[in-house]
Structure 1
Amino acid sequence: MISFIRRWLTSWPVIVLLGLVVVAFAVTGVGDPFGGGAPQGSVAKVGKKTITETELLSAFERVSRSARERNPAITQAELAQQGGVDAAAGQLIGQAAMEQLGAQAGLSVSNRAVGAQIAAIPAFQVGGKFDDATYRRVLAQQRITDRELNDGIHGDLVRQQLLTPVTAALGVPAGMAQPYAQLLVDEHRGAVALVPLVAGPAPTEAEITKFYADNKGKLMLPERRGFRHALIDSAAVAASGVVTDAQIAAAFAKDPARYGGAATRRLQQVVVPDEAKARAIAAAAATEGFAKAAERLAGFGTADITLGEQSQSGFAQATSAAVAAAAFAAPAGGITAPIKSDFGWHVVRVESVGAAGKSLAAARPAVEAELRTRAGEDAVAALVAKIEDGVEAGKSFADLAKENGLVVVSQAAVAKDGTATGAAPLAGPLALLADRAFRHEPGEGAAVEDLGEGRLAVIETMQILPSAAPPLAQVRELVTAGAARDKALKTARVKADAIVAAVKKGGNFAEAVAAQGLPPAQPLAGRRIDVAQQPQVPPVVQAFLSTPAGTVNVLPSPQGWVMIHADTVTKGQLAAIPGLVEAGRREIASQLPDEFASAFAAAAERTVGSRRNEAVIDAVKRRLAGTDVAQ
């Protein structure tokens, strides 16, 4: 409920940022109580830790990804303009302050604990178990080093140790939740009217130029990169792998059981700690049966002694070579003499003799298929290694392509998502390559990128076009339309302001609307609880339910100015909805850990001391927002 009410009390950019300043266990976004400046060229100095500009850019990228999950349409420039850089800086400062405070308090985290946290992350697992190859691949995709991840999780665990005692037992009395619940049931009554846009004189050249200058930030093109690439036909490379008859025979001989080439037997087994008991079981088994002897003398049930079908090599790995040899030397129904291994004394009974095992000729297709797969993988790996070695040796992209039979294709500059003005967006592997181009810088040379699904490519970033507003000539039609709309909005605003002024003096809203020659106002009525479960509440409804009684709220819309008047707000009956206050109490309680963590982070910063370099932060903000481009 509290999260629903906040939708009515804050603007969407603020809501976005509230959701972004939570990293791991700490809610940051704290200010600068100490003032002063950080070391030259750095973002901040927190205790003994220096936060660099590179770290800030990485944190902003994480903030951007989270923001785009909530609002896919938001751009980097918009996010930077709306406080994303400050949120990222606060995030880093808060994290560092908590870690420094933890260090001062003597808190520590072992490498084993960090490793356990990493191993438990599903993204690094295959079949429910940690997989190192997957781990390395995911880190590469996210552009995170092993050390960065370990340090980050170490910091998270330190912050958890600090915050858990503070937030674990937070409670909320019903009296705190009642005002929020009351907001949900209060009944709002009022009306809505529209001051429409009316086409007027075309904007002048001066008005067009001014509108362009004032709105450059909204016209910004994202950073674009030009690159060249060569796709690697992994299937063709893999097909070049050679498998010989000798390799097939050697693989079969090394592990015949893998290919069904090993003889099998169904076995039963008893393992006891001393030889005397083993001999007693073997002797009794000859007269009363193996299962009865095992149960009477050693307490084993049938399930305990039954091993099922075994190959000699597999049984030897589970016991010992001597035990397996004896078991496979005995006939069907035979019982071995007691044999000692590291596990104790074994007595084995052969229930039945299984398959004799496939011959090499019968197993050949399976062996060859597996070896060809391995050979193909080795061939691709060898090609990638050859290209990477060539890059390290200083060979050009053209030479590498020629040596390895690759076709080089040049790509004009595109944004990270593969889009470019006046061109169709890139799709498929090319779209992935556009994203990869932002991982490399011009002059670094070629690099091999894994595009997934067995697709590989060699890529070299050649050109960077920084984020910038396009020249007026390129967007003149768009700017002219915007200037005309802006002019019409200003004209319509005169009528809207007149209505607001009339109501403020005690006038009737409907009469004020009619006095401006507008269509009649339409009545509105409702409660917040009536729309609380809707995933998307119209902005007009949000504004109406947030407008104080006796006032007018003015909102821009594509059609003009929407005038929202709240005439009365009548107190609703909480008792009519049983459980509402209790539901609010629980939800507020769920929010309190974040609130307390935020306060704790601020206190940690004051304790360890911090100095922000506002000049560096502002420079990053202007660069990402595009406002440092020459006008």
Structure 2
Amino acid sequence: MLSLFRRLAKSWIATALFAVLIASFALWGIGSDMVRSLFQGDDALARVGGEPIPLEEAQAATRREMRRIAAQLGPRFQDDPAVRRAIATQALEQLIAQRSLLAEARRLGIVVPESAVRDAVFAMPGLQGSDGRFSRAILEAALRQYDLTEAQFITLVRADIARQQLLGGVRSGGIGPDALTHPLLAWARERRSADVVELALLDAPEPPPPDEAALRRFHENNPERFSAPEYRQAVVAALTPDSVAAEVQVPDADIAAAYERRRGEFESGERRQIDQALVDSEEKARAIAAAWRGGADFAAIERQAAEAGGTALHLGALDRDGLPVPALADAAFAAPEGGVTDPVQSPFGWHVLRVAKIEPPASRPLEAVRDEIRRDLQAERAIDLSYRRANEIEDALAGGATLEEVARRFGLATATVTTDATGRDAAGAAVTLPVPQPQREATLRAIFAAGQGAAPQFTETPDGFVGVEVRQVTPAALRPFAEIEDQVRRAWLADARRRSQEERAAALLGAVRGGRPLPEAAREAGLRADRLGPFGRQPDPQAPASQPQPPPELLAPLFEAKVGDPTMVETRAGFAVAQLATIERFDPASDPLALGRLRGEVEQAMADDLETQYAAALRRRAEVRVNQRLLDSLAGPAN
């Protein structure tokens, strides 16, 4: 669920809900507080400042984290004990982080109002329906999929808003001093030139034709290049909410009841289009109010406010909660349309507000949203039905039915395929699986995780359920020489050309190290050296054709070299030998814009470091204790 809501929000709402696995370990430092003896008889997995983290909560978090990482890694994901242990630890650390931050927020008196939580949830892009409005059905489906109650989700959102408030002040301390930014910019903008000789494989002399014995040795010594992959023949069956949606009927009474429960989604309070002028004295504010009431347009008010040392701006359409100072909200919502308020003082100065337009409360009646609610309920109940159907299918499989029998009985989409781990058949064509495209990678993983002859597995995926029964496994094997002799010959010739060019490049490098300039050594070897540059540390795709750049593989060694030093690298086209010719230093003061951009990046990095240190300090203050015995059980094979 943590990964889901980051994907849903695509904003700061979900930033703290999950972190990269390694970053979490670096941030929180698990290990030192795995205190075993303190937990005899304690059924809490961990305690943060004395507050327990129940085992059940961590189990649910671990399942969510497993799904997230499996979705990220795709076929590379390996569900073994070490991975489960790392994921269980990561899930626990996220819960500890949340508890530590909330404890500090409570200590500082930070309170997140219900309106802020509601607005944050309603604003999540991934929770919007086809009409661009918040969809409760999408939220409820996601909660079921990721083992969260609505209360738990709201707690996560509230905690993240509190975290943003808490860490905002900490991050503001990040600065980019000149002592750091100037050397960094000078380093980044340094440019160099070099003499370069490129030896392309295409230019290598043609090697003598190999005999059959040489080809057979090459074939046997390079099995990874000439082997067929493992293939598996499997029956695949799929169950998705969409496949059972047609069976779901939604009575009108249920639609009416849902409308009443969700009435708040279909109603909006009064909103007002508000313009504001803000100055530092009551006298100036009264002069602006008088001018506004006298018919001055906004441009004139903007000029008058600027002359008074203040500002004027359009605040846009706001409800009462959108005005942070109660006195401002009272004044704005007491004025008529077109009215101008008396000056109102706040900690920011003196405000004058003009109500440009009043948007009255709006409500969409049941008939206007009936189809939307019907679709939401149908989608929600289709998910429920798919879960019930999946349980029935698992019972049938446990009773000895084959996957094909179950598929026929329950009307599942099914196919028998022979595929490699990438989803291709022996001819190299993509196999057709009876699953939605997002489910394809998970299905291939299931096929290659199952054992031949094992009982059929019917498991949950992010997009539904998939069943797999492996009928035959064809192991990876070296293809017979006779079948691929031409392929082996081409590979042998390519390898011979590569060795030839590598030997010529090595000889050239040796000559330069022996004291010969590269252009001279290249001429004697029948090669050409080109003076390239100046160039930067990174490849420049915008460089004009008149200024050829060195191969990208040369850049790092050339920027580590001293003038006159030679180097040799393998490139995508062959090999290259280079000798550093010149170094052009950069004056950071010559480009203040670049210096400003770099300063911003440095400040961002320093703010991240401050946040990391602050989070670690909160964790220490919370006196975290972890029940090692329960953590071991959480990370065990049963989980």
TM-score by length of 1: 0.51
Partner letter of residue 182 of structure 2?
Q
**Whole-angstrom CA distance in 1 between matches of 2:162 and 2:472:** 41
Shift of 1:559: 3.0
SS at match of 1:579: helix
Paired residue for 1:394? Answer: 396
| Larger Rg belongs to | 1
1:566 to 563, 570, 580: 580
**Whole-angstrom CA distance in 2 between matches of 1:211 and 1:603:** 54
Paired residue for 1:463? Answer: 470
Change over 3 Å in CA distance of 1:200–1:31 after alignment to 2: farther
Cα pair 1:108 1:158 within 8 Å, conserved: yes
**Whole-angstrom CA distance in 1 between matches of 2:385 and 2:30:** 56
Do residues 76 (structure 1) and 76 (structure 2) align?
Answer: yes
2:603 to 589, 600, 603: 589
Change over 3 Å in CA distance of 1:374–1:585 after alignment to 2: closer
Paired residue for 1:513? Answer: 522
Shift of 1:526: 2.3
Do residues 525 (structure 1) and 538 (structure 2) align?
Answer: no
Change over 3 Å in CA distance of 1:474–1:178 after alignment to 2: farther
Shift of 1:571: 1.7
Shift of 1:554: 2.7
Paired residue for 1:555? Answer: 569
Shift of 1:189: 1.3
SS at match of 1:520: coil
Q: Kindly report which structure 2 residues correspond to 1:82-161, keeping only aligned pairs within 5 A, or say none.
A: 96=93, 99=96, 103=100, 106-107=103-104, 120-126=123-129, 127=131, 129-138=133-142, 144-146=146-148
Shift of 1:487: 5.5
Change over 3 Å in CA distance of 1:403–1:530 after alignment to 2: closer
Shift of 1:193: 1.4
**Whole-angstrom CA distance in 1 between matches of 2:594 and 2:529:** 34
Paired residue for 2:199? Answer: 195
SS at match of 1:460: strand
Change over 3 Å in CA distance of 1:431–1:591 after alignment to 2: same
Cα pair 1:46 1:93 within 8 Å, conserved: no
* Residues 220-240 of structure 1 deviation map (CA, whole Å, 9 limit, x = unaligned): 9699783423789979995x9
Q: Kindly report which structure 2 residues correspond to 1:182-221, keeping only aligned pairs within 5 A, or say none.
A: 182-197=186-201, 198=204, 200=207, 202=210, 205-212=216-223
**Whole-angstrom CA distance in 2 between matches of 1:533 and 1:57:** 44
Cα pair 2:192 2:533 within 8 Å, conserved: yes
Cα pair 1:32 1:611 within 8 Å, conserved: no
Shift of 1:172: 1.0
Change over 3 Å in CA distance of 1:129–1:434 after alignment to 2: same
Do residues 494 (structure 1) and 503 (structure 2) align?
Answer: yes
**Whole-angstrom CA distance in 2 between matches of 1:570 and 1:460:** 63
**Whole-angstrom CA distance in 1 between matches of 2:26 and 2:377:** 53
Shift of 1:177: 0.8
1:410 to 401, 407, 416: 416
**Whole-angstrom CA distance in 2 between matches of 1:507 and 1:400:** 77
**Whole-angstrom CA distance in 1 between matches of 2:521 and 2:35:** 56
**Whole-angstrom CA distance in 1 between matches of 2:373 and 2:616:** 60
**Whole-angstrom CA distance in 1 between matches of 2:72 and 2:155:** 21
Do residues 503 (structure 1) and 508 (structure 2) align?
Answer: no
Cα pair 2:28 2:93 within 8 Å, conserved: no
Q: RMSD between aligned alpha carbons?
A: 6.7
SS at match of 1:567: strand
Do residues 178 (structure 1) and 185 (structure 2) align?
Answer: no
**Whole-angstrom CA distance in 1 between matches of 2:159 and 2:489:** 52
Paired residue for 1:5? Answer: none
Cα pair 1:226 1:461 within 8 Å, conserved: yes
SS at match of 1:580: helix
Worse-matched range after superposition: 596-605 or 490-499: 596-605
1:425 to 423, 426, 430: 430
SS at match of 2:580: strand
Change over 3 Å in CA distance of 1:418–1:604 after alignment to 2: farther
Paired residue for 1:11? Answer: none
Cα pair 1:26 1:95 within 8 Å, conserved: no
Shift of 1:524: 0.6
* Residues 316-366 of structure 1 deviation map (CA, whole Å, 9 limit, x = unaligned): x9xxxxxxxxxxxxxxxxxxxxxxxxxxxxxxxxxxxxxxxxxxxxx9xx9
Paired residue for 1:324? Answer: none
* Residues 453-500 of structure 1 deviation map (CA, whole Å, 9 limit, x = unaligned): xxxx9742223999x993222897777766665565444333333333
Change over 3 Å in CA distance of 1:132–1:307 after alignment to 2: closer
Shift of 1:595: 3.8
Question: How many residues were matched structurally?
Answer: 462
Cα pair 1:449 1:459 within 8 Å, conserved: yes
Paired residue for 2:440? Answer: 434
Partner letter of residue 424 of structure 1?
A
* Residues 541-560 of structure 1 deviation map (CA, whole Å, 9 limit, x = unaligned): 74476352333343323432
Paired residue for 2:323? Answer: none
2:478 to 472, 485, 492: 472
Shift of 1:96: 1.8
SS at match of 1:394: helix
Partner letter of residue 462 of structure 1?
E
Change over 3 Å in CA distance of 1:599–1:200 after alignment to 2: farther
Cα pair 1:190 1:523 within 8 Å, conserved: yes
Shift of 1:527: 4.0
**Whole-angstrom CA distance in 1 between matches of 2:123 and 2:557:** 47
Cα pair 2:459 2:466 within 8 Å, conserved: yes
* Residues 419-448 of structure 1 deviation map (CA, whole Å, 9 limit, x = unaligned): 445342146964535345368686466579
**Whole-angstrom CA distance in 2 between matches of 1:235 and 1:56:** 29
Change over 3 Å in CA distance of 1:178–1:520 after alignment to 2: same
SS at match of 2:576: strand
Cα pair 2:538 2:555 within 8 Å, conserved: no
Cα pair 1:183 1:528 within 8 Å, conserved: no
Cα pair 1:34 1:610 within 8 Å, conserved: no
* Residues 387-442 of structure 1 deviation map (CA, whole Å, 9 limit, x = unaligned): 44642652645555545666743233454x74445342146964535345368686
**Whole-angstrom CA distance in 2 between matches of 1:170 and 1:589:** 5
Cα pair 2:194 2:582 within 8 Å, conserved: yes
Paired residue for 2:262? Answer: none
Cα pair 1:228 1:460 within 8 Å, conserved: yes
Change over 3 Å in CA distance of 1:237–1:307 after alignment to 2: closer
Partner letter of residue 460 of structure 1?
G
Cα pair 1:124 1:138 within 8 Å, conserved: no
Worse-matched range after superposition: 102-111 or 373-382: 373-382
Partner letter of residue 180 of structure 1?
L
**Whole-angstrom CA distance in 1 between matches of 2:590 and 2:337:** 66
Cα pair 1:99 1:159 within 8 Å, conserved: no
Work out the percentage of aligned pairs sharing the same amino acid. 17
Shift of 1:173: 1.2
**Whole-angstrom CA distance in 2 between matches of 1:90 and 1:383:** 30
Cα pair 1:186 1:528 within 8 Å, conserved: yes
**Whole-angstrom CA distance in 2 between matches of 1:487 and 1:190:** 29
Cα pair 1:34 1:611 within 8 Å, conserved: no
SS at match of 2:521: helix
Cα pair 1:227 1:437 within 8 Å, conserved: no
Do residues 577 (structure 1) and 582 (structure 2) align?
Answer: no
**Whole-angstrom CA distance in 2 between matches of 1:504 and 1:611:** 61
Partner letter of residue 136 of structure 2?
D
